[in-house]
Amino acid sequence: MPARNPPPPPGLVIVDKDRGPTSHDVVGKLRRIMGTRKVGHAGTLDPMATGVLVVGIERATKLLGHLSLDTKAYTATVRLGQATDTDDAEGTPIGEPVPVDADDAALRAATAALTGEIMQVPSAVSAVKIDGKRAYQRVRDGETVEIPARPVTVSAFELLAVRREGAWCDLDVAVDCSSGTYVRALARDLGAALGSAGHLTALRRTRVGPFTLEHARTVEQLAEDPGLSLDLAAAVATAFPRVDLDASAATDVRFGKSLPAAGIEGTYGVFAPDGAALALMADRGRDARPVVVLAPAG
């Protein structure tokens, strides 16, 4: 039998996703490009959306659930004057166009009202689970979906440009928000607040946590020149606070043992004396306990 190629080193690939493919499509292409089945992504992007998609390779897939909880930033275009059944341009228009009668000052006041800690109802075709089943799948199965409002944080909802044409009013906006915030829902709610309707016509994610478009390459670029954006140690050091251990503590972590608390809020990365990323840990009282062991003993 021919020898198998060795697996690629663990790390992150920051993809600049094109409009059209799903996040799952991107993962499938990266499996072929990187030569491994152990590929996953943090934070789904809709097919119409472009921009930053964080992809984990090999052991770095263990980081993804923690990266997906981080803040995100977007640029987007909101069309006021028309609702759709998906709250974006991929959906079917609902009802007749409703012209927007609002000057720029009123538009800025409406976006400001949707900034801060707010209660948001996700789109009916979102990936939110209802009794263990994705909302979008329930809609596809012909069910009527009602999703309860939930708290999200919109740190910035900035109006960049306004273009008016007939019944339409297109707004270019920048959004900085917590994980779980739906920009489509912001477009819908902005239209409703102005006595009209709204949906997204374009969405580009510019940042996931510390990872920006500056780190990103397209799938086509990766196909021509495969490689990681950050190796495992660099990924952990970029995304989490860092604690360096001595040899004895490093051995304990490799065996999944607790350490004395580091006094750091939230999840942080711990590193061996040689710079290798060992684990993600979190303080629990006086102890620090492993959340994910990245370099187990043996």
Residues designated catalytic: 46
Q: How many CA atoms lie within 13 A of 205 on its CB side?
A: 36
Tokens of 298: 């043996």
Instruction: Name the DSSP letter for residue 8.
Output: P
Tokens of 140: 């596809």
Decide if 253 contacts 245 (C-beta within 8 A).
yes
Distance (Å, whole) CA 33 – CA 54: 15
- Beta strand 198-208 pairing with 50-57: parallel
Nearest CA among 247, 250, 286, 297 for reference residue 269: 250
What are residue 119's DSSP bridge partners?
151
Helix, strand or coil, per DSSP, at residue 55: strand
Q: What is the DSSP string of 78-95?
A: EEET-EETTSBTTS-EES
Decide if 214 contacts 59 (C-beta within 8 A).
no
Distance (Å, whole) CA 232 – CA 230: 7
